[in-house]
Amino acid sequence: MTKTSTSGLRGEYGSAAEDFTVSQDWGRYSPEAHERWRRLYAAQGGLARRYAASQFVEGLERLDCAEGIPRFEDANRVLGAETGWSLVAVPGFIPDAVFFDHLAHRRFPVTRWLREEHELDYLVEPDVFHDFFGHVPMLLNPSVAHFLELYGKAGERAMQMGALDMLARIYWYTVEFGLVREDGALKVFGAGIVSSAGETVYAIEDSNVLRVPFDPIRIMRTAYSIDSFQQNYFVLESLDQLIDGLVQLDFGPLYERWRDEAPLPAGQLLPGEQALDLSGERRS
C-alpha cells in the first residue's frame, strides 16, 4: 500500500459516523509523518522530563510512543486497564455536545492527522501530536480521568443555561493550561503547554507571568488567549484538587450570576489576590 501525506486525513468528515468518529487509518501515515512525530516527541519529551508533572512523565513512558505515531488501539489497552478510558479518532473539531458525550462515557476524541512541516512551531488547531502527546498521558491519572468524565457530564447543563463559555474556561485553565505544585516546584500538566516548546519554558520560568492559586469561580470568570501564550496560569496544590475544588460546587447559581457579565481580563490581579512566585509560593 502506498502511504500518503497525513494532510489527506485532515478534515475528512465525509466518512465520520454520527458521533464524528472515524477509523484512525494508521496505515495511511507516511514514513515522513512518523519521522516528524519522532522529532516532535524527542524535543517535547526532553522538556517534559524537566518541566512536566511526574504523573505526565510516567504516563508518557507507559504509552511507549517515541518511535512513531501511535496506534490508538495499543493505547486503549493501557488506558482501559488503568482508568477505563479509550481513545476515538476524529477528523478535527467536533460539536460541543458530541465532545461532552464522549467525555461523559470515558472516550477521549483524538484528532488523527499530524501537522505538516511548516506547522511545527505554530499550529492553529489541535492535531494528533497535541491530542495524544499532550492529553493521553494524563488520562492514566485517576484524578484527571475522573475530572474529565465529570466535565463531560456537566456539559449539557452548561449548554442549556447559556453558560458554555464559563465551563469551557475550566477546561482551558486546567486540562489545557494548568500548572501544579510538586515537591516545592511548579510543574506543567496542561496539554496546551506541554505540547508547546515555547510555552513549556515560558509558563515555568518567566518571572513576569501572573500565576495565581487555583480558584474555580475565578477561573470561570477569566478570559483567555487562543493565539498567544497565556497571560496568567492557575496553580493546583495537587491534581486531587481538580475534584475537591469542583465536585462540591453548584454550577447553576454561578452560571446565573456570571454568564451575562463580561469576563475578567487575563493577566490582572483582583483586589486582595496574591500572585505566586516561581516556586508556587505566595509573594510577600
Residues 197 and 272 placed together within one structural domain of the fold: yes
Cα–Cα distance for residue pair 24/200, rounded to 1 Å:
28
Residues 181 and 133 placed together within one structural domain of the fold: no
Mean pLDDT, rounded, of the chain: 94
Residue 158 in any domain: the answer is no
Name the pairing type of β-strands 179-182 and 232-236: parallel
Instruction: Show the CA angle centred on residue 101, arms to residues 177 and 128, nearest 5°.
Output: 50
Confidence grade of residue 6 (pLDDT, cut at 50, 70, 90): low
Residue 149 in any domain: the answer is no
Residues 181 and 282 placed together within one structural domain of the fold: yes
Confidence grade of residue 281 (pLDDT, cut at 50, 70, 90): confident
Quick one: pLDDT at residue 251?
95
The domain tally of the chain equals 2
Residue 280 in any domain: the answer is yes
Residues 205 and 134 placed together within one structural domain of the fold: no
pLDDT at residue 123 greater than cutoff 50: yes
Phi, psi of 132 (to 5 degrees): -80, -60
Residues 120 and 181 placed together within one structural domain of the fold: no
**Do the beta carbons of residue 144 and residue 152 sit within 8 Å?**
no
pLDDT at residue 4 greater than cutoff 50: no
Residues 190 and 248 placed together within one structural domain of the fold: yes
Quick one: pLDDT at residue 11?
85
Choose one of 123, 140, 157: the last residue of a domain.
Answer: 140
Residues 96 and 198 placed together within one structural domain of the fold: no
Residues 116 and 182 placed together within one structural domain of the fold: no
For residue 273, how many C-alpha atoms fall within 13 Å in the half-sphere facing its CB?
15
* Terminal Cα distance for the chain, rounded: 64
Average pLDDT over residues 169-176: 97
Residues 184 and 65 placed together within one structural domain of the fold: no
Look up residue 153 and give its three cell numbers: 457530564
Residues 7 and 87 placed together within one structural domain of the fold: yes
pTM above 0.85, yes or no: yes
Residue 6 in any domain: the answer is yes
Residue 155 in any domain: the answer is no
- Give 254-278 pLDDT, tens digit per residue: 999 999 999 999 999 999 999 998 8
Quick one: pLDDT at residue 284?
55
Look up residue 58 and give its three cell numbers: 510516567
Residue 167 in any domain: the answer is no
**Do the beta carbons of residue 194 and residue 134 sit within 8 Å?**
yes
pLDDT at residue 175 greater than cutoff 60: yes
Residue 157 in any domain: the answer is no
Look up residue 170 and give its three cell numbers: 475550566
Instruction: Show the CA angle centred on residue 98, arms to residues 94 and 100, nearest 5°.
Output: 110
**Do the beta carbons of residue 77 and residue 228 sit within 8 Å?**
no
Choose one of 116, 140, 164: the last residue of a domain.
Answer: 140
Residue 69 in any domain: the answer is yes
Which range of residues forms the domain containing residue 125? 1-140
Average pLDDT over residues 185-214: 95
- Give 49-102 pLDDT, tens digit per residue: 999 999 999 999 999 999 999 999 999 999 999 999 999 999 999 999 999 999
Quick one: pLDDT at residue 5?
47
- Which of 145, 141, 115, 117 has its CA nearest to residue 130? 115
Residues 111 and 200 placed together within one structural domain of the fold: no
pLDDT at residue 2 greater than cutoff 60: no
CATH number of the domain within which 6 lies: 1.10.800.10
Residues 199 and 106 placed together within one structural domain of the fold: no
Coil/strand/helix, residue 40: helix
Quick one: pLDDT at residue 7?
56
Confidence grade of residue 40 (pLDDT, cut at 50, 70, 90): very high
Choose one of 93, 116, 140: the last residue of a domain.
Answer: 140
